[in-house]
A and B are shown apart, each in its own frame.
Chain A
Amino acid sequence: MYNPFHFIFNDRELVQSSPAGKVTLDFIRQDLHHTGTKEGCREGECGACSILLGTWSGSEKKVTYRSVNSCLLPAGSVPGKHLVTIEGLTFGSGLNLIQQAFVDQGATQCGFCTPGFIISLTRFFLESETLTVDEGLDAVSGNICRCTGYTSIRRAIESLLGRYGDALRGAENRTAALVEAGFLPSYFTEIPEKLRALYEKDSGGKNQAERNADTGREEILVAGATDLLVQRPEALLQQPLKLIDGERGMKGITVENGMCRIGAGTPMEDLRQSKELAAVIHRIGEYMKLIASSQIRQRATVGGNLVNASPIGDTTVMFLGLDAVITLEKNGKSRNVALKDFYLGYKKLDLEIGEIMKEISFDIPPEGMRFNFEKVSKRTHLDIASVNSAARIELAEGASGGGPKTIRKAVIAAGGTAAVPLFLRKTCAFLEGKKITGSVLKQAAGVMDGEISPISDVRGSEAYKRLLLRQLFFAHFLTLFPGEIRAEEVL
């Protein structure tokens, strides 16, 4: 009843059909009858359903694997891909090296979360350039285990890296080296050729899962789907979809001529990994680690986060704080909107029906970017912030002759403090032309307190959010100008 599509499932090429909006977790368990992929939450919070998705890149001539939550992956993203479940990492009756390390270290107790961890770490060994322990931990940042306390899992990662890290880092062909060492079954070496064939066969773009029946209802634009499939899974099954996660034209980060441009379809993980971006925002990798989990970041797009318009969206606040401009397009016509003017009210945007966000851009001041991002949540990672904030401060020239520096331009944004991600207009205006001193900052904090309207909810009480934003505001300046002010001047 639906169009059959081609993909590779573990070691087999398959032709299968499914509605595009069906959750891949269900596709795997119900249609492909593989139960090693577990349902833990259906909201991308536990990672028990993690799978690998391998994509052939025509330009790079290689397969790139992402580990994603299959509960937040529409089946429409599977055609032409290599879909790998835990069953596809298991050979014969034995164990691969990651599996063996988990057994040896006691890193599996009840076992329910374990396939997800093995999947995430497989992606780490396939794709991490540096293969450090920190990157290994980040690889499982979206995997929750309630039994082990993670310590044994950490030991498993450390032991694998200790034993195989150097050899793998130096390997010319990582996949072949992983097969050779015993991390991966040998069929992985044949996947690139097979995926390439699928890719080339599909130059007409016919290899697609059926877009849901044309019911005449509004087409839903689906990028990473990491929030849509949590909020409106029914709608994705019933309404017509336009999947844009495969559109290469919307991905990528470029820095040139004093501007940074980011395709709206760029996955957040690419921001974390981008060397170009790190040259502009030195701590971008650190900031991005605080946002979602490895699995979510590999699917969630920057544009999706901005359009989602959550008042506490992390990258939303980050780009507000960068004074970013977005490019919207409809019927070949495009217009630019300053992000700070984009949010009109709670989940209300300056966005016409049919308009698509194509790009986010921001300028880089000649003297370099002075930018800081702060986020505090109950759990430091993979949690919604109680309050987040971003600040970009530019100084007046010629102020280096001792004494406090003068602010030429201040761009400060805060999340969790209003119905929209908030650009702190009054605070910024107050700061412009002022010197960076304790008393100025304290006055500015007072101005700021007057332009926010946080509410009490599960992320914290109103009083807490006010206090916290004040602290984060000071944190921006203490971080950016450690020589200018001291903590005791403001606290």
Chain B
Amino acid sequence: MKHRTMGTDASLHVRGETRYIDDHPVPESCLHAAVFTSPVARGRITSLDTAPAMEVPGVRAVFSAEDIPGENQIGGIFPDEELLAETELKFIGQAVAVVIAENPEAARKGAGRIVLEAEELEPVLDPREAYGKGQIIGTPRIFSLGDVDSAWDSCDVIVEGRVETGGQEHLYLETQGAIALPREDGTMKIVSATQNPSHVQHLAARVLGFEMHQVEVEVPRLGGAFGGKEEQGTSWACMAALAAYRLRVPVKLVLNRREDLAWTGKRHPYSSDYKLGVKADGTFVAYEAAFYQNAGATADLSSAILERTLFHSAGSYFVPNTRVTGFSCRTNVAPNTAFRGFGGPQGMFVFESAVAEAAAVLGKEPAELQKKNLLNEGDMFPYGMKTSGCTARRCFSEAEQDFGVEEWRRKIEKFNGENDLFKKGLACMPVCFGISFTNTTLNQANSLVHVYKDGSVGVSTAAVEMGQGVKQKMVQVAADIFSLSPGEDGTYPVRIEFTNTTRNANTSPTAASTGSDLNGKATEAACIQIRDRLLHFAAGLSGVSGEPQLSLSHGAVVSGGRKTELTWKELVSRAYLERINLSAHAHYATPDIYFDKSKEKGEPFAYHVYGTAFVEATVDCLRGTYRFDAVRAVHDGGTSMNNLVDRGQSEGGIVQGLGWLTIEELLYSDAGRPLADTMNNCKVPDIYFVPDEITVKFLENSPNPFGIFNSKAVGEPPFMYGIAGYFALRAAVDAFRAGRGGGTERKKRENRKGLITTPMTPERVLTRLYD
């Protein structure tokens, strides 16, 4: 079946009927929470006076660490994160106390009255400084392949440099929040804006001193997440639960934008060193890199994110000798966290910087080196896995042909020759991205499917809908296996239930682009169980015979290729009367993946997603401003389950990737205060920023047997096409510099050398144009 709709959620959205956390009707007794946070980046609390908060009219209670009945600990991978600070202050914005009041305004006013005195210490904001002081989370990680040390001798050119990549604010439009609803027996229901309901359940239970079955977490949907609600939705849910537990009334906690911007973690900034050795013909020989990840104050998911940086450190290329090292460095800013790409973009960007430098030294187009070194079938990744079903070269070649890159390049050269104050640049970005959680355990999912006796279907999985279309894909799985007919409005009689821990237990976050694959495969298995029971039952009915030939097609039973009189609805109804089980629960675990951390080798990914994008930019060389003219990509999405959804994910990812490397700049004061604490100071792409053209062509005839219905995961990989945007800008800037008689090769080299810093703001462009 071909599907081209966004599903029923889209209709709710456009009618304004969708309920996000702040829209849920709450009981009249519901109280509201606001959070008091640390005003210093590093220090020790010497006194905390919450009494003034209680004097604000409407304030009912204030809770701090000592009020926590269970463990004051919400660290996921490492137990290093207190829900409410006890004595040690680690970053500005760290939660210290929760104020509960009759309305959010009173709660915030109360929080504003709390007096905290602290012994202040000098904060550490720079990851290399943290590294120097031994502030490392976990252990340094080293991935290696071949023999790097002896490979340098066989290189014709060796380039080295340092790269600083900036952070990125998620700016999901719906801020963080949760509603905790105590139940009659003292247990707790939490409606949470999280990508990870089981995690919220686990940690709320830990904080409350409960067992997990005493906490139910429900997630109707999210107003955007991008990784920002994988780990960081948890604390707010736990605080609401703590207050609800103490006061035995419902408590709602929703951050406003300023709080969300100031208190929550971002994409990790990295400071990295690289060294790349190549042959004169452009063949990559050896690569060495060290990544200093700015983890922020607590571990959060940083170690897993660092790991993915290493997995993707050589991008879409084969480099026979590599050694990459990663350090997760503890600093005094809000814990940085998951964000689309999960460390992959930071690793790939460094490699692309090295490629650009090597190409400049060799006097070649970067694209020539990129193409020459693309992964081939059977090539070995630094983590010991070999490519299988590798389409890197197919994507690159098709992009070159379909988009007429040679002609395109000539046009740009002509333009640059004719224009002094405007210059264009073209760059390309081949992407290879591994699909699976690199923590093998997380690659499991379960699905609960009910066929109701009227033939309608309810599906429950742990997949959280956040705009990525996973609900629609789950509908398609059930509709396809049961071969249901759509109604007059084009929708199927399938409802995807809200994600709830009582229906799906011990689940993984909806993250790592795996939501559709894992939950889809589990749903497929559950649906097949029911379908087979129904067909077996149908075979026993008079008038329908020969079970092996029976199947379902378009709402009816088909026998020997011929449609029978028995409709889906009738079959279900009769099966119910004959006491056939119309429900199924199935579990899926991605087969054949493993990773041995002691050797840093294994086969951690079910498969890889490939693609290539070309980006054209125009720089106004008088003003230092710029525009992206076109992004054209060939993307291997396997056999797409839904073109509309997959195209939307691609376009959205591309624009977000361009934003990361251009206008989205996160600055901190010397005291560690985030300066991007309002949307006014935190700009993300608007409609005018968008390239005039974004073309995403999906590779044809590329079924992926490891994905649901032969599809490929699509959430994260397109983000990294944005990297080409940065290098397109650089190419345009360099064209201007060359036009100004940029001097000798040596001079050019000197100018180029040294630091690459992102994002490429108009300030960096202008400065580079005229340095």
| Interface of A toward B, CB cutoff 8 Å | 35-43, 45-46, 48, 85-87, 90, 95, 98-100, 102-103, 105-106, 108-115, 118, 137, 140-141, 143-154, 230, 374, 376-384, 386, 458, 460-461, 463-464, 467-468, 471-472, 474-475, 478, 487-488, 491
- Count A-B contacts at CB 8 Å: 232
What residues of A have a CB within 8 angstroms of the CB of B223 in the complex? Answer: 38, 110-112
Partner of B18, one of A111, A140, A154, A464: A111
What residues of B have a CB within 8 angstroms of the CB of A42 in the complex? Answer: 256-257
Q: Does A150 contact B690, Cβ atoms closer than 8 Å?
A: yes
The answer for the CA separation of A90 and B655 in the assembled complex, in Å, is: 30
Q: Does A151 contact B644, Cβ atoms closer than 8 Å?
A: no
What residues of A have a CB within 8 angstroms of the CB of B173 in the complex? Answer: 38, 40, 46, 48, 110, 112-113, 144-146
Interface string of B668-712 (1 = CB under 8 A from A): 000000011011110111111110001000000000000000000
Q: Does A141 contact B622, Cβ atoms closer than 8 Å?
A: no
Distance in angstroms from A491 CB to nearest chain B CB is: 7
Q: Does A146 contact B684, Cβ atoms closer than 8 Å?
A: yes
**Stretch in B7-15, B376-384, B519-527 touching the partner:** B7-15
What residues of A have a CB within 8 angstroms of the CB of B648 in the complex? Answer: 106, 109, 147-149, 152
The answer for the CA separation of A110 and B465 in the assembled complex, in Å, is: 8
Q: Please judge, given known A-B contacts A48-B173, A106-B644, A110-B467, whether A43 and B257 are in contact too, CB under 8 Å.
A: yes
A-B contact pairs, 18 of them (CB 8 A): A39-B256, A41-B679, A42-B256, A86-B15, A87-B15, A95-B14, A103-B6, A108-B14, A110-B221, A110-B222, A110-B225, A111-B12, A112-B173, A113-B173, A144-B686, A145-B687, A379-B686, A471-B622
Q: Please judge, given known A-B contacts A106-B647, A147-B224, whether A382 and B686 are in contact too, CB under 8 Å.
A: yes
Partner of A108, one of B10, B420, B468, B685: B10
Partner of B651, one of A37, A114, A148: A148
**Stretch in B91-99, B302-310, B453-461, B762-770 touching the partner:** B762-770
Q: Please judge, given known A-B contacts A111-B467, A152-B648, A379-B663, whether A137 and B14 are in contact too, CB under 8 Å.
A: no
Interface string of B4-38 (1 = CB under 8 A from A): 01100111111111111011000000000000000
The answer to the question of B421 belonging to the interface, with a C-beta cut-off of 8 Å to chain A, is: yes
The answer to the question of B654 belonging to the interface, with a C-beta cut-off of 8 Å to chain A, is: yes
What residues of A have a CB within 8 angstroms of the CB of B222 in the complex? Answer: 110
A-facing residues in B447-474 (Cβ within 8 Å): 466-469
What residues of A have a CB within 8 angstroms of the CB of B622 in the complex? Answer: 471, 474-475, 478, 487, 491
The answer for the CA separation of A90 and B420 in the assembled complex, in Å, is: 52
Distance in angstroms from A150 CB to nearest chain B CB is: 5
The answer to the question of B624 belonging to the interface, with a C-beta cut-off of 8 Å to chain A, is: yes
The answer for the CA separation of A92 and B690 in the assembled complex, in Å, is: 35
Q: Does B16 contact A85, Cβ atoms closer than 8 Å?
A: yes
Given contacts A110-B173, A151-B694, A384-B680, 11 further A-B contacts (CB under 8 A): A35-B19, A36-B17, A103-B10, A110-B221, A110-B467, A114-B16, A115-B13, A149-B694, A152-B647, A381-B688, A472-B623
Q: Does A112 contact B679, Cβ atoms closer than 8 Å?
A: no
Distance in angstroms from A58 CB to nearest chain B CB is: 32
Distance in angstroms from A470 CB to nearest chain B CB is: 9
Q: Does A86 contact B420, Cβ atoms closer than 8 Å?
A: no
Q: Please judge, given known A-B contacts A110-B224, A112-B173, whether A137 and B687 are in contact too, CB under 8 Å.
A: yes
**Interface of chain B, helix or strand or loop or mixed?**
loop
Partner of B13, one of A98, A108, A384: A108
What residues of A have a CB within 8 angstroms of the CB of B647 in the complex? Answer: 106, 152
The answer for the CA separation of A383 and B652 in the assembled complex, in Å, is: 21
The answer for the CA separation of A487 and B689 in the assembled complex, in Å, is: 27
What residues of A have a CB within 8 angstroms of the CB of B61 in the complex? Answer: none
What residues of B have a CB within 8 angstroms of the CB of A230 in the complex? Answer: 680
| Interface of B toward A, CB cutoff 8 Å | 5-6, 9-20, 22-23, 170-174, 221-226, 256-257, 420-421, 466-469, 622-625, 644-645, 647-648, 651-656, 663, 665, 667, 675-676, 678-681, 683-690, 694, 761-763, 766-767, 770
Closest 4 A-B residue pairs measured CB to CB? A36-B16, A111-B13, A110-B467, A86-B16
Q: Does A461 contact B763, Cβ atoms closer than 8 Å?
A: yes
The answer for the CA separation of A114 and B6 in the assembled complex, in Å, is: 14
What residues of A have a CB within 8 angstroms of the CB of B653 in the complex? Answer: 149
Partner of B172, one of A110, A151, A491: A110
What residues of B have a CB within 8 angstroms of the CB of A112 in the complex? Answer: 18, 20, 172-174, 223-224
The answer for the CA separation of A36 and B23 in the assembled complex, in Å, is: 8
Distance in angstroms from A322 CB to nearest chain B CB is: 21
Q: Does B467 contact A149, Cβ atoms closer than 8 Å?
A: no
Q: Does A38 contact B20, Cβ atoms closer than 8 Å?
A: yes
Q: Does B688 contact A137, Cβ atoms closer than 8 Å?
A: yes
The answer for the CA separation of A109 and B224 in the assembled complex, in Å, is: 8
Q: Please judge, given known A-B contacts A40-B173, A95-B11, A382-B686, whether A376 and B467 are in contact too, CB under 8 Å.
A: no
User: Which residue of A109, A488, A491 has the most chain B CB atoms within 10 A of its CB atom?
Assistant: A109
Distance in angstroms from B189 CB to nearest chain A CB is: 21
Closest partner residue, chain A, to B678 (CB atom):
A43
User: Which residue of B23, B625, B678 has the most chain A CB atoms within 10 A of its CB atom?
Assistant: B23
What residues of B have a CB within 8 angstroms of the CB of A39 in the complex? Answer: 22, 256
Partner of B466, one of A110, A154, A461: A110
Q: Please judge, given known A-B contacts A43-B257, A103-B5, A110-B223, whether A154 and B690 are in contact too, CB under 8 Å.
A: yes
The answer for the CA separation of A430 and B404 in the assembled complex, in Å, is: 53
Partner of A149, one of B17, B654, B680: B654
Closest partner residue, chain A, to B679 (CB atom):
A45
Closest partner residue, chain A, to B172 (CB atom):
A146
What residues of B have a CB within 8 angstroms of the CB of A376 in the complex? Answer: 623-625, 762
Q: Please judge, given known A-B contacts A35-B23, A147-B224, whether A141 and B16 are in contact too, CB under 8 Å.
A: no
What residues of A have a CB within 8 angstroms of the CB of B5 in the complex? Answer: 103
What residues of B have a CB within 8 angstroms of the CB of A149 in the complex? Answer: 648, 651-656, 685, 690, 694
Distance in angstroms from A237 CB to nearest chain B CB is: 9
User: Which residue of A40, A99, A100 has the most chain B CB atoms within 10 A of its CB atom?
Assistant: A40
Q: Does A140 contact B683, Cβ atoms closer than 8 Å?
A: no
What residues of A have a CB within 8 angstroms of the CB of B13 in the complex? Answer: 102, 108, 110-111, 114-115
Q: Does B420 contact A487, Cβ atoms closer than 8 Å?
A: yes
Partner of A152, one of B170, B420, B651, B763: B651
Partner of B688, one of A40, A103, A141, A460: A141
What residues of A have a CB within 8 angstroms of the CB of B10 in the complex? Answer: 102-103, 106, 108, 111
The answer for the CA separation of A491 and B10 in the assembled complex, in Å, is: 52
The answer for the CA separation of A94 and B569 in the assembled complex, in Å, is: 27
What residues of B have a CB within 8 angstroms of the CB of A103 in the complex? Answer: 5-6, 10-11, 14
Distance in angstroms from A374 CB to nearest chain B CB is: 7
What residues of B have a CB within 8 angstroms of the CB of A35 in the complex? Answer: 16, 19, 22-23
Q: Does A374 contact B467, Cβ atoms closer than 8 Å?
A: no
Distance in angstroms from A397 CB to nearest chain B CB is: 30
Q: Please judge, given known A-B contacts A380-B625, A380-B688, A487-B420, whether A109 and B468 are in contact too, CB under 8 Å.
A: yes
Partner of A147, one of B623, B652, B770: B652
Closest partner residue, chain B, to A39 (CB atom):
B22
Q: Please judge, given known A-B contacts A110-B173, A111-B18, A146-B173, whether A464 and B688 are in contact too, CB under 8 Å.
A: no
Q: Does B15 contact A140, Cβ atoms closer than 8 Å?
A: no
Q: Does B680 contact A43, Cβ atoms closer than 8 Å?
A: yes
Closest partner residue, chain A, to B469 (CB atom):
A109
Q: Does B687 contact A143, Cβ atoms closer than 8 Å?
A: yes
The answer for the CA separation of A472 and B766 in the assembled complex, in Å, is: 12
Closest partner residue, chain B, to A118 (CB atom):
B14
Partner of A141, one of B11, B171, B679, B687: B687
Q: Does A378 contact B468, Cβ atoms closer than 8 Å?
A: no
The answer for the CA separation of A147 and B647 in the assembled complex, in Å, is: 12
Q: Does A378 contact B683, Cβ atoms closer than 8 Å?
A: yes
User: Which residue of B5, B226, B623, B656 has the most chain A CB atoms within 10 A of its CB atom?
Assistant: B623
What residues of A have a CB within 8 angstroms of the CB of B675 in the complex? Answer: 458
The answer for the CA separation of A48 and B256 in the assembled complex, in Å, is: 13
Partner of A114, one of B14, B221, B623, B624: B14
Q: Does B665 contact A378, Cβ atoms closer than 8 Å?
A: yes
Q: Please judge, given known A-B contacts A45-B680, A143-B687, whether A468 and B624 are in contact too, CB under 8 Å.
A: yes
The answer for the CA separation of A463 and B768 in the assembled complex, in Å, is: 13
